Structure 1
Amino acid sequence: MNINSFLWGLLSFFFLFPKPSFQESYNLSPVPNARLQNAFIALQAWKHAITDDPKGFTSNWNGLVVCNYTGVYCAQAPDDPYIITVAGIDLNHAGISGSLPEELGLLADLALFHINSNKFCGTLPASFRYLRLLYELDVSNNLFSGEFPSVVLCLSSLKFLDIRFNKFKGKIPSALFDLKLDVLFINNNNFQSTFPKNFGNSTVSVFVLANNNLQGCLPSSIGKMAKTLNEIILINTGLTACLPEEIGLLTGVTVFDVSYNNLVGTLPKSMGNMKSIEQLNVPHNKLSGEIPDSICSLPRLENFTYSYNYFCSEANSCLNLKDKDDRKNCIPHRPKQRSAEECKAFYTHPVGCSAFGCLPPPPPLTRLPPPPPRSSPPPPHHYYHHP
């Protein structure tokens, strides 16, 4: 059985079968194999690291038959169909307090680890690097803290990473964007960083980075994500400067949200190429200029929110959108706009993209070699002497 078959088979069991029939179908022996013995050690260590279990999720974590534990799912090992192993853990919404012990690294065949909406603290164990089959990791909505859990950079099979709504801080490692992930949620933490140059190397289809303090410019390398990206949400991340023209290459994106930032300049005309866009949100920035018809006429666009900016004109097609919001701009003859004084003050002192240092520096001037020495002065030239 190859790894992909193992993972998809496990996902099917999660969604199609209730736990009792799934477990009983294997007619588990009371004497576990070596992998289940390791799982017993890991889960008992975890139980002792739990300080509060208000819903009693781990109350039946007793005995050697770990496949009967609540939240523990077993399956055939990917390398031996005759061996049963722990393949998934799901303790979502249990309200459990505690930490994650290093012994969890003994769960070498684990493909899914879901513990969202609990009160776990500390960080991810370094032993997670041994979880070579881990496909989905969801530790969202907990109390984890410290630096970005760099152990996830060692997980070669990882496709789904969700660490949102924790207290992680510091820099986001650039190596994260070189992983072959499909879904990445790192929003609502305390990261303070900038967008790395290799940001566009990411293979994600869904990327949510909202409510962190990254600041800086959105790299032009985002255009390299055109083949995979479907949704990108960068709400309240400290974005500055202008949106790069390369955004127009994201022809498969359905949701694009950069609300509550410090973006300036105009909307790139290239955005008129985003034929799949359904929801486009740019409110609460300092964007200005005209909104072209090419954007409002996009075939799938249903929701376009551009309120609380300084746009001075919008195409008639924008008014025909099913759901749009153009409040608090500088658009003549539209209701609920900014005052004339506020608009005049903004356009009197416009801020350009170059003010944020995001544009590449100009190429250095090339020094020409000195002319060869002449025996006589050069003839007169019409550039210097008028006839």
Structure 2
Amino acid sequence: MSPSHLLLIALIISTVVHHISAQGKTNVNGLTFENPRLRQAYIGLQAIKATVLSDPYNFTGNWVGPNVCNYSRVFCSTFPGNRSIRVVGGIDLNRADISGSLPNELGLLNDLSLIHLNSNRFCGTIPRSIRNLTSLFELDLSNNRFSGVFPTSVLSLPTLKYLDLRFNDFEGRLPRRLFDIKLDAIILNSNRFRSGIPSNLGNSTVSAIVLANNNLGGCIPSSIGRMANTLYQIVLSNNNLSGCIPTQVGLLKKVTVFDVSRNNLQGSLPAAIGGMTSVEQLNVAHNRLTGVVPGSICRLPKLVNFLYSFNYFTGEAPSCVAPPPRKVFYDAKNCIAGRPNQRTPGQCSTRFARPVNCQLLQCAG
């Protein structure tokens, strides 16, 4: 091939490369970007900024121009497939007090590994396009005003491990699939979820689950025992739960916090809880529990705080009456003869004080 032909081919290749590069870098209002991924992130970030109604601390004030990696609270990282390419890997607007909503263009930020929007005034629903954020690891939308049913699109995120939606206005059912995907933390307290805890709760791989302050109703699923190898904290307080505490909770040998207080749980306190050998905080207060508090619970080696007040217990093991120093066991407002600060005889004669057969008790919800 002649030198002139080689030169022509070189010119053609150069022209094609330049054209491709130009397409990747310019195409948005004449601005130049490092790479197409940052160009796409720019579009998504500008769409978020456009929905902002109030930004009292001006966190989004410098969200101007193509240098998105210099935007306040926007963090860039290298692209896993090519470390020479920068991408937007995180947005952290925690405690910014921003009022606004999340636009559909959020899905263009598909290199994000974390979104932290804690303590703002975002409202509306979560856009379905969030399912495009296939690298997302942490999603914290807590302390906002988001509404609607549970955003099931987040369940399609293949790398998501941390899900925090607490203190919002989500409502309706918890989807069964929530407990079938491999998450490490599910924090949904202080919303308006109803219709019970799905029976496949025990399929979850989480180390922490907080569902407190909803109105779930129903029973604690017996499948909870299958979480023995992963679960460290579970908080189900103030949920209008009924039925009995399943004996399978005794299998949770790694749990350090177990809180089912402020519900309508009935029956006796299972002696099987004595198998929760790592538990430090155990709270069953403000329920309708009856019978005698087993000594196997009060002798748990790591138990520091055991609250079982405001129930209808009629007795407790000696190890519960005189706990070792630096341990707090609180038995007030029960029906235990000889103990101070108990319920009145009239309260201890109501239907709530009657023992129930947990095998026959129907689960409401």
Q: Classify the TM-score, shorter chain.
A: 0.7 to 0.9
Confirm whether residue 324 of structure 1 aligns to residue 329 of structure 2. Answer: yes
For 1:356 and 1:212, the matched residues in 2 are separated by 23
Match of 1:181 in 2: 183
Q: The residue matched to 2:282 in structure 1 has which SS? A: strand
Deviation of 1:36 after TM superposition, in Å, equals 0.4
Selected match of 1:223 from 219, 222, 225: 225
Deviation of 1:354 after TM superposition, in Å, equals 4.8
Partners of 2:118 and 2:144 within 8 A in 1:
yes
1:86-165 paired onto structure 2 within 5 Å = 86-165=88-167
Farther-moved stretch of structure 1 (65-74 vs 342-351): 342-351
The one-letter code sitting in structure 2 at the alignment partner of 1:330 is C
Partners of 1:241 and 1:352 within 8 A in 2:
no
For 1:288 and 1:90, the matched residues in 2 are separated by 48
Match of 2:314 in 1: 312
Q: The residue matched to 1:241 in structure 2 has which SS? A: coil
The one-letter code sitting in structure 2 at the alignment partner of 1:205 is S
Selected match of 1:333 from 304, 325, 338: 338
For 1:348 and 1:286, the matched residues in 2 are separated by 7
For 1:309 and 1:171, the matched residues in 2 are separated by 29
Partners of 2:288 and 2:352 within 8 A in 1:
no
Deviation of 1:355 after TM superposition, in Å, equals 5.6
Match of 1:64 in 2: 66
The one-letter code sitting in structure 2 at the alignment partner of 1:341 is G
1:210-259: per-residue Cα shift (whole Å, max 9, x none)? 01111111111000000100000001111101111101000110000000
For 2:222 and 2:321, the matched residues in 1 are separated by 30
Structure 1 vs Structure 2: percent identity of aligned residues?
56
Q: The residue matched to 1:81 in structure 2 has which SS? A: strand
Structure 1: runs of 5+ lacking an equivalent: 1-29, 360-387
1:190-220: per-residue Cα shift (whole Å, max 9, x none)? 1111121211101110100001111111111
The one-letter code sitting in structure 1 at the alignment partner of 2:48 is W
Structure 1 pair 79–299 and aligned structure 2 pair: CA distance change class (3 A)? same
Deviation of 1:320 after TM superposition, in Å, equals 3.0
For 2:136 and 2:90, the matched residues in 1 are separated by 9
Selected match of 1:250 from 252, 272, 288: 252
Deviation of 1:319 after TM superposition, in Å, equals 2.5
Match of 1:85 in 2: 87
The one-letter code sitting in structure 2 at the alignment partner of 1:233 is V
Structure 2: runs of 5+ lacking an equivalent: 1-31
Partners of 2:290 and 2:353 within 8 A in 1:
no
1:134-181: per-residue Cα shift (whole Å, max 9, x none)? 000000000100111111111110000000100011111111011100
Match of 1:196 in 2: 198
1:306-345: per-residue Cα shift (whole Å, max 9, x none)? 0000111111211233112110001111100011232133
Structure 1 pair 41–347 and aligned structure 2 pair: CA distance change class (3 A)? closer
Match of 1:35 in 2: 37
Partners of 1:264 and 1:352 within 8 A in 2:
no
- The 4+ residue runs of structure 1 with deviation greater than 4 A are 346-349
Q: The residue matched to 2:87 in structure 1 has which SS? A: strand
For 2:213 and 2:352, the matched residues in 1 are separated by 29
Deviation of 1:351 after TM superposition, in Å, equals 3.7
Q: The residue matched to 1:152 in structure 2 has which SS? A: helix
Q: The residue matched to 1:200 in structure 2 has which SS? A: helix
Match of 2:270 in 1: 268
The one-letter code sitting in structure 2 at the alignment partner of 1:187 is N
For 2:33 and 2:175, the matched residues in 1 are separated by 44
Q: The residue matched to 1:240 in structure 2 has which SS? A: coil
Partners of 1:139 and 1:163 within 8 A in 2:
yes
Structure 1 pair 348–82 and aligned structure 2 pair: CA distance change class (3 A)? closer
For 2:114 and 2:316, the matched residues in 1 are separated by 48
1:260-312: per-residue Cα shift (whole Å, max 9, x none)? 00000011111111100000000000001111111000000000000000111
Confirm whether residue 353 of structure 1 aligns to residue 358 of structure 2. Answer: yes
Structure 1 pair 348–116 and aligned structure 2 pair: CA distance change class (3 A)? closer
Aligned length: 330
The one-letter code sitting in structure 2 at the alignment partner of 1:67 is C
Q: What RMSD in Å do the two structures reach over aligned CA positions?
A: 1.4
The TM-score, its normalising length taken from structure 1, stands at 0.83
Deviation of 1:356 after TM superposition, in Å, equals 4.2
The one-letter code sitting in structure 2 at the alignment partner of 1:105 is G
Q: The residue matched to 2:339 in structure 1 has which SS? A: coil
Q: The residue matched to 2:45 in structure 1 has which SS? A: helix
